Amino acid sequence: MSTTNNIDHTELVEDHSDYLLSFAMSKLSDIELAKDLVQDTLVSALMKLDTFEHRSKLRTWLTSILNRKIIDHWRKAETRYTDPVSSFFDQDDDKRHWFIEKQGGMHSKSIVDKISDNETLAELQDCIDGLPEKWQGIISSKYLQEKESEQICNDFAITPSNLWVIIHRSKLLLRDCLKSKWI
């Protein structure tokens, strides 16, 4: 018997559940879903506690289980509709230059002054909420947690070129969305 088996469910919940929930919410926007995934994580962690080796901290191990569950969730969600990346690319040639038709930037003299304005940031949040769920997670990993690109690719099971495409597409969508609010 290793010492890990002394960890009981009360301790696990008290010490780690809030941390795991915050972690899940940095990648998801649905609090109920996040709570469910945390519960799944704790239950499956307890079931395979004997496979936990002290090579990593308990919290790191729990986080990796949760992360896997989040990725599984996205995989399932993505098969329901088309892949968000390929639905923009790889289609008919007309779409290849779709953004050129969206002539004109959103710049006006006053916009730069708006930057730290709370209202602008709330509008930005609105626009971010309109992005696909997985993209929101990627944006928050990138800007909030300031993770390295390589780490983000691992966490979200995507390739580096996917990452740039997603950032690029997110910006185009945010731009359209902000423009519609500001004009």
Partner 1 sequence: MDLMKGCEEITLDIERGRYNSLSVKELVEIKMHLLICKPCADYKKDSDLIEQLLQEKYKQGAAKYSFSAEEKEALKNACKH
Q: Interface residues with partner 1 (CB under 8 A)?
A: 9-10, 12-14, 17-18, 21-22, 25-26, 31, 34-35, 38-39, 42-43, 46, 96-97, 99-100, 102-107, 111-112, 115-116, 120-121, 124-125, 139-140, 143-145, 149, 164-165, 167-168, 171-172, 174-175, 178
Cα–Cα distance measured from residue 77 to residue 129, given in angstroms and rounded to the nearest whole number: 17
Q: Can you spell out the DSSP letters for 18-76?
A: HHHHHHHHTT-S-HHHHHHHHHHHHHHHHHTGGG--TTS-HHHHHHHHHHHHHHHHHHH
Rg (CA), the chain: 20
Nearest-approach distance from CB 22 to partner 1, in angstroms: 5
Of 56 and 108, nearer to partner 1 (C-beta) is: 108
Cβ(21)–Cβ(38) under 8 Å?
Answer: yes
Of 58 and 165, nearer to partner 1 (C-beta) is: 165
Of 75 and 107, nearer to partner 1 (C-beta) is: 107
Nearest-approach distance from CB 121 to partner 1, in angstroms: 5
Nearest-approach distance from CB 169 to partner 1, in angstroms: 9
Nearest-approach distance from CB 103 to partner 1, in angstroms: 6
Of 21 and 58, nearer to partner 1 (C-beta) is: 21
Closest CA to 153 of 168, 169, 164: 164
Of 7 and 157, nearer to partner 1 (C-beta) is: 7
Burial class (CB in 10 A: 0-12, 13-18, 19+), 25: middle
Nearest-approach distance from CB 79 to partner 1, in angstroms: 26
Distance of CA 113 to the CA centre of its chain: 29
